[in-house]
Structure 1
Amino acid sequence: MTIDTTTDAAADAAATAGDLAERLADVWIELEERLDAVPVLRRLAEGTVTLHDYQRLLFNLRQQVVDGSPWISRAASNFDIEHFTLRAAAIKHAEEEHRDYLMLERDYVAVGGSLEELRAGRKNLGSEALSGYMFTYADRPNPVGLLGAMFIIEGLGAKRAAGWAARFQETLGLADSQVHFMRYHEVADGNHTGDLEAILTSGIVDAAAADEIVRCAQVVARLYALQLEELDR
């Protein structure tokens, strides 16, 4: 009698992917609840946000955004040949994002900010913690857990950035050219989340990797919210 292990393996992979999706959805719900309490985002929702608030948000985001492509590149260099799919995806992603900070800088200048002051700025407390965590994790051999970080960061771009941009425009009367960074990421990060979903459901993520992905998503969700809470500190 021959036992068909192929079917069993496929079923196990499907179950792992389904469980992972549910766990990440729970992390996302917690993040949404925390973001609703962030002062600048609460003022945005209430319609009391100011131009200075928008400038501060861009100023603080820029200091972390410039680190995005470098930590992705570092992660790519630490995937071995057995994780070629993830290495290739990371290299492609880093290449696509390494100029993103320039869009943010243009938006900042377009709303009256000083480029010199922006580039001389430093990370706030939350951004320091977030970037430090990302680079440290990226230094691990085969840092598969960073897929959880991408779930959070790309998810925010795809699901929240355009809404934030529209609300800033509605409240402050801003032009499209002054919110280009946020609007761009609705489309770009939407494509990235599609690529991520394909990886997470491909069967290459086992139970141990799923645990790492969820844990990384939890940490990054908390630290990303923290950088929004700690503007200018």
Structure 2
Amino acid sequence: WLIRELAQVWIDFESNLLKVPIITKIHDGKLSLEDYKLLLLDLRQQVIDGSQWISRAASNIDIEIFELRSAFIKHTAAEHKDYQMLERNYEKLGESIKTIQEGEKNIGSVALSSFMFQQASKPNPIDLLGSMFIIEGIGKRLAAFWGEMIKDQLSLTDDQVSFFTYHGVADENHFHNLEKAINHPLMDIDLAKRIVKTAKTTARLYQMQLEELGNY
């Protein structure tokens, strides 16, 4: 049931993303360099929170369900370098690293990060597997594809799009960890429903983050 529901959440999310202006531009070959810089600038402000909410979630998971906790911890280690890669890509575009480091979250990122930290602060926030499913799905299924299109459209080099292209490779491993967690013996229908709801919420807020680029 859970896998089927999550698959539907993903299908809806992916089709909704195609209506988001920045994604439409990428697909239509109409992305400008300024659009891309803004995308990096805004993504970095939310990505930097990634390893923090996952760490917080892991610390709130009981030792009795250690296997599930380890799925979060593995995820944290992998996420930790992401924002630095974003910063390097931005700098390679000729921009000041200080600009991206001092940027602020757009209103969609504020909502997304607030939700993540709120969930992560609850006891045993296993439902955040739903968030990880969405975020890793972006990495596994979309990021490398977007990265290649951006690179071709704007005639960029690998070190200017590596945040996107790296994810297509790195998140293959992430996803395997997540599948193991989802098939855990402790998974029951109530927990499964919570995971699906959290996945849906994360998907909507992630979309909002992309819709609100530049809106601070």
* 1:173-224 residue CA offsets vs partner (Å, 9 max, x unmatched): 1111111111111111111111111221233311111001000000000000
Deviates most, 80-89 or 31-40: 80-89
Provide runs of 4+ in structure 1 moved above 6 Å.
none
1:65 corresponds to 2:47: yes
Q: Which amino acid aligns with 1:34?
A: N
1:144 corresponds to 2:143: no
Which of 105, 114, 117 matches 1:132?
114
Partner residue in 2 for 1:183: 165
Partner residue in 2 for 1:56: 38
Q: Which amino acid aligns with 2:121?
A: D
Q: CA RMSD in A?
A: 0.9
Tell me which structure has the larger Cα radius of gyration: 1
Superposition TM-score, scaled by structure 2 size: 0.97
How many corresponding residue pairs?
Answer: 215
Deviates most, 75-84 or 214-223: 75-84
Superposition TM-score, scaled by structure 1 size: 0.90
* 1:76-132 residue CA offsets vs partner (Å, 9 max, x unmatched): 110011211111221222122212110110001111222111111100010000000
Distance 2:180 2:45 in 1: 30
Distance 2:173 2:186 in 1: 20
Partner residue in 1 for 2:90: 108
Deviates most, 66-75 or 202-211: 202-211
* Contact 2:71 2:178 survives alignment (8 Å): no
Partner residue in 2 for 1:13: none
Distance 1:204 1:186 in 2: 30
* 1:115-158 residue CA offsets vs partner (Å, 9 max, x unmatched): 11111110001000000000000001000100000000000001
Partner residue in 2 for 1:93: 75
Q: Which runs of 5+ in 2 are unaligned?
A: none
1:218 corresponds to 2:195: no
